[in-house]
Chains A and B, each alone.
Chain A
């Protein structure tokens, strides 16, 4: 699957996520989510997750 199609799919998921929080009446979570998603892009590209969260309990 092309990078472009993947990106579009991810953006649709972000849209769905925002919609989910809106429906749950949790509008105030949305800006925070978007900032963290933006900050997370670099983290994902470098595979840095294991640094921020080396071993996280299954509930997080």
Chain B
């Protein structure tokens, strides 16, 4: 019966997760509080938030667990830069400054911050944290666990056999051959920010054709077991701190696309970049599918594949693994990236202290609850109209049916990169122009970025094909759209006729299912509540700021209805 804190930090997506008596009670990403997108700094605010949510005093923490081993990481940085003389010079100087300037002392920092003793703080391997964050909350037993990301300490891909709550390593691919870093390099080549723009590459891929296989074959080889070999002269992630690719990639694929240039997808130049994205996506899907087959071979008794690591956020690839892979079921945790490592670390720590930590994650609402009283007071000070309608769902449905955008900040905030109806922007998903309107006016982002639909279990099969299982609860897979979906919710579909649909059930979210029962169709467009370049809103103040800056009909905070104009 222990209270364990898991922490991820210093690379990207810093987060904290609190596990009490084996159950996850709170999980918060630092960016939601600091408001710095992908904030990697020490997550003091996220830790404080977790403790506040669970009403736990720092002194009551039995153990704090960091999601990776700092010394092993340092060793890899030294080894990879020193053995690539002279190219590794800038990587060595910058990397060592970061490592010795703080990262190797992260356990000291944790101890001092929480007032814990030396033996109360430990570190677990990066990929094991990822694997635990998926397997231990999947409800699957036994399971094969596939972790694919940029790089942990030294591993870029790993396969684990999860059985009886334990994770047994079966396979690893070491740095620098990395599927995640390959995709990151293509992300940078296409003019997007690494660790942020990978979603954009996936969205862009649907506009292109994977016709550059020959060019790609010159710098990436996907082997039968799913492992990859990268050309060392094309990719620079082994040696350079800020550049992902070298001139050789541009020799093969043409000049890199400048950052920030507006997209014109019917322009031949941008059509070429869409083809690059499509080919990269095809390579990634092929590799992931082969890795899934390898995992099946190595973990023969497992029917379920648990996926983790940043690559598991690629919902198109997950669909292919589900459809064409050897597993009956696939599970992806809501926070598959580095933030999820905090949860895995906490669960491993609790398990080490003897707690039974294997239990399915029913809900991703693990953050702080919305404070309606505070929202009411601040909104009144802003001169906004605040009401507590007797039929809030009916009012919300009418606004949505009339084509209005509705901002929602209710209950606890979500864990992971998806807004699942607690910190969401909702809209009627037709006509198709709604997508352009939201992309251009609210999100201020590329026109090819898809938005997602949310619907109920009863309505799901009418709108979407493919299996409907656990993956849709956390929006971690795409489903093909039916003719009805093309008619009723074109704004929530991608150009390839698929959608990253969310399935919502009355037991877990009566408010949203209630709303879907009142709108003209039982499907809504659901996108995250955030402005361009900002993290998803967390506190009511963030949601109010969103309302101030965007043309939305109203903001719902629990049972409050807030409008900008004074009533």
Question: Do any beta carbons of A and B sit within 8 angstroms of each other in the complex?
Answer: yes
Binary flags per residue of A1-33, CB closer than 8 Å to B gives 1, else 0: 100001001101100110011001010010011
How far apart sit A36 and B234, CA to CA, in the bound complex (Å)? 30
Asked if B168 CB lies within 8 Å of chain A CBs, one says no
Asked if B393 CB lies within 8 Å of chain A CBs, one says no
- Closest Cβ–Cβ distance, residue A26 to chain B (whole Å): 7
Q: Give the contact-size bracket for chain B.
A: 35 or more
Q: Give the contact-size bracket for chain A.
A: 20 to 34
Binary flags per residue of B210-252, CB closer than 8 Å to A gives 1, else 0: 0000000000000000000000000001001110100000000
- Closest Cβ–Cβ distance, residue B422 to chain A (whole Å): 28
Cβ < 8 Å to B, chain A residues 10-60: 10, 12-13, 16-17, 20-21, 24, 26, 29, 32-33, 36-37, 40, 43-44, 49, 52-53, 55-60
A53→B237 contact, CB < 8 A: no
How far apart sit A37 and B95, CA to CA, in the bound complex (Å)? 13
How far apart sit A21 and B73, CA to CA, in the bound complex (Å)? 12
Chain B residues, Cβ within 8 Å of A1: 112, 115
B40→A58 contact, CB < 8 A: yes
Within 8 Å by CB of B241, from A12, A33, A60, lies A60
Asked if B75 CB lies within 8 Å of chain A CBs, one says yes
- Chain A, residue nearest B74 (CB): A17
- Chain A, residue nearest B244 (CB): A57
Most A CB within 10 A of own CB, among B12, B77, B97, B244: B97
How far apart sit A33 and B115, CA to CA, in the bound complex (Å)? 28
- Chain A, residue nearest B175 (CB): A59
Asked if B462 CB lies within 8 Å of chain A CBs, one says no
- Chain B, residue nearest A6 (CB): B112
Chain B residues, Cβ within 8 Å of A43: 97, 101
How far apart sit A36 and B77, CA to CA, in the bound complex (Å)? 14
Q: Interface segment, B103-111, B262-270, B401-409? A: B103-111
A16→B241 contact, CB < 8 A: no
- Closest Cβ–Cβ distance, residue B514 to chain A (whole Å): 41
Asked if B259 CB lies within 8 Å of chain A CBs, one says no
B102→A56 contact, CB < 8 A: no
A40→B75 contact, CB < 8 A: no
- Closest Cβ–Cβ distance, residue A13 to chain B (whole Å): 6
Asked if B367 CB lies within 8 Å of chain A CBs, one says no
A44→B95 contact, CB < 8 A: no
DSSP class of A's interface residues: helix, strand, loop or mixed? helix
- Closest Cβ–Cβ distance, residue A9 to chain B (whole Å): 5
How many A-B Cβ pairs are below 8 Å? 88
A53→B102 contact, CB < 8 A: no
Most A CB within 10 A of own CB, among B74, B104, B118: B104
Chain A residues, Cβ within 8 Å of B11: 58-59
Asked if B512 CB lies within 8 Å of chain A CBs, one says no
Within 8 Å by CB of B71, from A12, A20, A53, lies A20
A57→B242 contact, CB < 8 A: yes
A56→B101 contact, CB < 8 A: no
In the complex where A56-B241, A57-B242 touch, is A29 in contact with B12 (Cβ < 8 A)?
no
A60→B75 contact, CB < 8 A: no
Within 8 Å by CB of A57, from B74, B96, B101, B237, lies B237
Binary flags per residue of B75-101, CB closer than 8 Å to A gives 1, else 0: 101100000000000010111111111
Chain B residues, Cβ within 8 Å of A52: 93-94, 97, 101
Chain A residues, Cβ within 8 Å of B77: 59-60
B97→A57 contact, CB < 8 A: no
- Chain A, residue nearest B104 (CB): A17
Asked if B195 CB lies within 8 Å of chain A CBs, one says yes
Chain A residues, Cβ within 8 Å of B338: 58
- Closest Cβ–Cβ distance, residue B123 to chain A (whole Å): 11
How far apart sit A59 and B78, CA to CA, in the bound complex (Å)? 12
How far apart sit A12 and B195, CA to CA, in the bound complex (Å)? 34
Asked if B499 CB lies within 8 Å of chain A CBs, one says no
In the complex where A20-B71, A58-B195 touch, is A49 in contact with B241 (Cβ < 8 A)?
no
A24→B75 contact, CB < 8 A: yes
Asked if B366 CB lies within 8 Å of chain A CBs, one says no
Can you name 8 A-B residue pairings with CB atoms under 8 Å? A10-B105, A53-B93, A57-B237, A57-B241, A58-B11, A58-B338, A59-B237, A60-B91
A residues engaging B (CB < 8 A)? 1, 6, 9-10, 12-13, 16-17, 20-21, 24, 26, 29, 32-33, 36-37, 40, 43-44, 49, 52-53, 55-60
With A9-B118, A17-B71 known, 15 other A-B pairs at CB within 8 A are A1-B115, A10-B105, A17-B104, A20-B72, A21-B75, A33-B78, A49-B101, A52-B97, A53-B95, A53-B241, A59-B150, A60-B77, A60-B94, A60-B95, A60-B98
The 9 A-B residue pairs with the shortest CB-CB distance, nearest first, are A60-B95, A53-B94, A58-B11, A52-B97, A20-B71, A56-B241, A49-B101, A40-B100, A59-B151
